Chain A
Amino acid sequence: MGMAGRHAVRSVVAGPLHCKGAMVATASVRSTCPFCAAGCGLVLESDGARIHAVRPDTDHPVSRGQLCVKGWNAHRALGHPDRLTTPLVRRGDRLVPASWAEALEAVVEAVRSAQAAAGADGIGVISSARATNEDNYAAMRFARGVLGTNNVDHCARVCHAPSVVGLRRTLGSGAMTNSIADLATADCLLVWGSDTTENHPIIGARLLEAKARGAMLIAVDPRRTRLAEFADLHLQLRLGTDIPLANAMLHTIFAHGWEAADYLAARCENADAVRAAVAGVSLADAARTTGVAASDIVAAARAYATTPRAALIYCLGVTQHVCGTENVIALSNLALATGHVGVPGAGINPLRGQNNVQGACDMGALPDVLSGYQPVSDPAVRARFAAAWRSGALPDRPGLTSLAMQHAARDGRLRCLFVLGEDPVVTDPSQHDVARAFDALDDLVVVELFLTETAKRASLVLPAAAWGEKEGTFTSTERRVQRVRRAVAPPGAARADWEILDAIAQRLGRPMGWTSARDVFDEMARLTPIYAGMSYERLERGGLQWPCPNPEHPGTPVLYVERCTRGRGRLVPVGDTLPAELPDDAYPLQLTTFRLHHQYGCGSMTRRVPLLERENPPGLLWINPLDAGARRIAPGAPVRVRSRRGEVTTRAMVSTTVPPGVVAMPYHFAEAPSNRVTNDAVDPISRMPELKVCAVAVEPC
């Protein structure tokens, strides 16, 4: 399986080339793309000091020589002059450069003083879905084994928290059941609230492959996305009417006897309650509510239910609602009723957002579970970890979520916070409250690549190594654990998160005892049953999909073939919930949010790439020609978008990709932040804010 551990210069190379003009790469290093959770394979070409190009990995099992424009430019933010190269310590209102020794001593001081003032739970750790598994495992061990608190969390809460909660109730765990390559073999694709070709382009490519092969493609989206252009059926539902649509489909399936009766009997529970709950659904009412023709609802229900290899794929169009968890359950009901869970070419497939959000969850960077979703409440689990870590008893009660940590900081219960590779001041709802929470802390320790808004408020800033500068692993949305590799050295004194945390732990007298990322991975695998069969050697080519319980296990491309994690799949009746805010005379339009293919998240990396920045459209408000005409808004004209919470100004993109009555904004742009107008009403079950629908007024300005 390849040449373990040696990726830089191959034996056939005669020696360093005497040319700086990049005649050929002196080192080509295989790695994994740091953007979306598709986990595409790429090769970093460097001269040893600087990565000068990315090329696609033609052997990669998922991406097969393809990348999106972000992947092709993935290296360009790494060597950026804005990178942090030295620790910074606060002196009054300034952050001044310091040695590692000084900075680490200050961290130890901060930890001791917070513990003295508020006990072990007076400290919290926020880890990063962008960082490696090794970094996330280190963060969770640091919190639990070194600091003695379960206050550890990361950003998964604002993307797929409803999936984690909803699918845990119905199936037992919240991961994608099938594989990306497997989706290309489906005969029917039901794609719900996912602009796949823009946000997970290479997964989108596999969906189009299935379509070209003859699969029926059904796109459920309020916008006319690229996928909708290809679709056999585009169910252009009104914003926030996902449950009425799913329930009408389920009603149709039961009414026609298209359900998988044997599967329901053998593998599911509570089906009769759901059958009864949807029995009274009126298709005519559903058509009126959703705006989708009754005939299209029936056609979609028939195709999805009666095709054996029918895959359901969904994303944030489903989760970012006040009824996000119930939306997920409604889709899970559809998949279970039709017997599509545990079947190749089918399954229920939430597409995770960030490169390693799956891994950050797997590693236990969550307040209630250790790695592999082993609950902190289980004494046997705690004992096993405590013995391995030689740490003494571990805390047994779930810790605080990241938002709860902010509340605790404002209350004075939390005195010191570690933030690794996240920028909550910018990305979390209600910027003012976040800043107030951070300012109330005795110490804010930030581990970062750049001096972010959060880092600017820190008492200590520690410079981190980025993905092309360290060894490690990412876990993609299809549960595929893959290597990331060091192509160049980190800038200046920057180090990997796990190294920094171990250095702090050593000074606290509780060393974690690692000398390499491989050490961290091996320890994690020993303690984590779903990763137990993995090692860097086995991940060398193409990676492995969890669960992989032993060194002979080939990994698991399809989950739940025999049974679900919770045993039987559970169907749960869900009723209609309207969006928290509906249009009225004052705010007559509905606003939804989306993403652009060439930007990523808050843009901290992609917005530093000139070629990607140049792709930004001239305006950021998509509006239908009818709505634009009624307001005398010409294409490209300046507009003001107002909601009850705030307003932004931008320019109009007059387009039929949004229907009349709906406007849409991408969320990457600090200069026109859509989150100034979006609704902060949350799903009561998962605490997900309703970012996908609110009421606004739009006027020329």
Chain B
Amino acid sequence: MLTGREVAVLPERAGIEALRAALARTRQLLEIRRGDAGSEWTAVSPDVPFEWARERPLGGAKRIFCPPEETLLVWHDATPALAEPEAAPVALVGVHPCDLAAIAYQDRFFARDPWYMRRRSQAVLIGIDCTAACAGGFCHAVDAGPFARDGFDVALTPLVDGRVIATPGTPAGRALLDALGLALEPAAAALSAAYEAARAAAAASFPERPFVADAIARVDGGRVTHGEWHALGVSCFACTGCTNVCPTCSCFTVVDEGDATAGTRSRVWDSCLLAGFQREASGHTPAPHPGDRVRRFWSHKLEQHFAAACGRVGCVGCGRCDVTCPGAIGALGVMARLGSG
């Protein structure tokens, strides 16, 4: 809702180029580009025009702040030293609302993690609202889109008439718009109406999937049977793809290499779908069957009570897990089997 918020208006989409140029004066621009190796976050020059059609990259923005592996500690001559990441100022331009919600989720998790925060604090996030559903996305069903609520420095909302509403979400975002000479004013009624129309059109573009709400309610209410979880567990190949591409997954394991004299300690993405994830030294594990692990994963993604600690439910509806799961039990795959309607 724009009512009561101060916003600026770019008269046309090309107005984003001035924003990018301003950001690029002090930061490296990162944008989603479809390259030779698929769609991914890429370092770009402001001289290359912005691409509004941003395909959701399978890798996502997660790996920018929480890389698949990173060195935490190095020791030589038995003397340890913390590995300090060098993080340059960056601006992510064109973050999808689902990923904004996910970054906010990870910000809470890693709030006291110096490696994550070193990188995160150097980043400006420019979100862009999605004016139509993407293939396999269901952000509207988990309150993560298609329009961003928060988690951005500036959110851009493209309107059908070519104008773009720029909404600051932080003092840094406001300063950025000020520096561009854009007037920040409370949204007029007509502008609010245009925004709402765009939002309604975007929401209406999602395919009807009544099983989604039903499945979420069943998982949240603990009404999925043991047998149903175990039937889903047979489809889990333990490939770790879902946790690797999930923008809110943050579990890692710690790996030491070297010996007592010299070596490194790294953290590496882990996965709760692996049998060894929670196995204790005795061999006991609280989630011995694949079905138990599948249940744990989806409980963490869909149950409301995690929202109290994490700020929102764990699933942001991006649909990446459905792309990468060889067992067809990504989010929509699971919900289609658990939900009715």
**A residues within 8 Å of B by Cβ?**
2-3, 6-7, 10-15, 17-26, 28-30, 43, 45, 52-53, 55-59, 64-69, 71-72, 81, 197, 201-202, 204-205, 208-209, 212, 226, 229-230, 597-598, 610-611, 614-618, 636
Contacts and interface: CB of A to CB of B under 8 A. Distances in A.
Interface string B308-324: 00000000000000011
Interface string B106-133: 0000000001001100000000000000
Given A12-B33, A21-B87, A53-B68, 4 more contacts: A13-B44, A67-B241, A197-B237, A615-B275
Contact of A21 (B36, B48, B86, B244): B86
Given A2-B36, A24-B30, A59-B38, A18 B88 contact: yes
Contacts of B88: 17-19, 23
Contacts of B260: none
Contact of A19 (B44, B45, B86, B237): B86
Given A12-B48, A597-B237, A24 B43 contact: yes
Contact of B328 (A28, A43, A202, A212): A212
B274 A52 contact: no
Given A18-B86, A20-B85, A58-B38, A614 B274 contact: yes
A12 B38 contact: no
A27 B79 CA distance: 33
A26 B63 CA distance: 13
Contacts of A212: 328
A598 B238 contact: yes
Interface in B267-286: 268, 270, 274-276, 279, 283
Nearest to A10: B35
A17 B43 contact: yes
A14 B326 contact: no
A72 B85 CA distance: 24
Nearest to B255: A610
A24 B119 contact: no
A10 B118 contact: no
B241 A72 contact: yes
Contacts, number: 170
A610 B268 CA distance: 10
B40 A201 contact: no
Contacts of B240: 69, 72, 611
Nearest to A613: B276
B325 interface: yes
Nearest to A7: B36
B274 A615 contact: yes
Interface string B250-264: 000101011000000
B192 interface: no
A23 to B, nearest CB: 6
Interface of B: 28-30, 33, 35-45, 48, 58-59, 63-64, 67-70, 85-88, 90, 115, 118-119, 234-235, 237-241, 244, 253, 255, 257-258, 268, 270, 274-276, 279, 283, 323-328
Given A6-B36, A611-B253, A205 B327 contact: yes
Contact of B37 (A14, A21, A30, A68): A30
Contacts of A30: 36-37
B119 A23 contact: yes
A13 B29 CA distance: 10
B239 A68 contact: yes
A650 B179 CA distance: 70
Given A10-B42, A57-B38, A204 B241 contact: no
B326 A55 contact: no
Contacts of B276: 611, 614-616
A24 B64 contact: yes
A229 B237 CA distance: 13
A208 B328 contact: yes
Given A19-B87, A22-B67, A30-B37, A201 B323 contact: no
13 contacts: A7-B37, A13-B43, A19-B119, A24-B64, A52-B67, A64-B323, A68-B326, A69-B238, A69-B240, A201-B237, A204-B326, A611-B270, A615-B238
A58 B58 contact: yes
B327 A10 contact: no
B37 A57 contact: yes
Contact of A23 (B68, B87, B270): B87
Given A23-B30, A597-B238, A29 B37 contact: yes
Contacts of A229: 234
A208 B58 CA distance: 23
Most buried by A among B35, B86, B326: B326
B326 A52 contact: no
Contacts of B33: 10, 12
B234 A14 contact: no
B90 A23 contact: yes
B63 A66 contact: no
B64 to A, nearest CB: 6
Contact of A226 (B29, B40, B234): B234
B283 A636 contact: yes
Contacts of B85: 19-21
Given A23-B64, A24-B43, A26-B43, A43 B241 contact: no
A576 to B, nearest CB: 34
B274 A230 contact: no
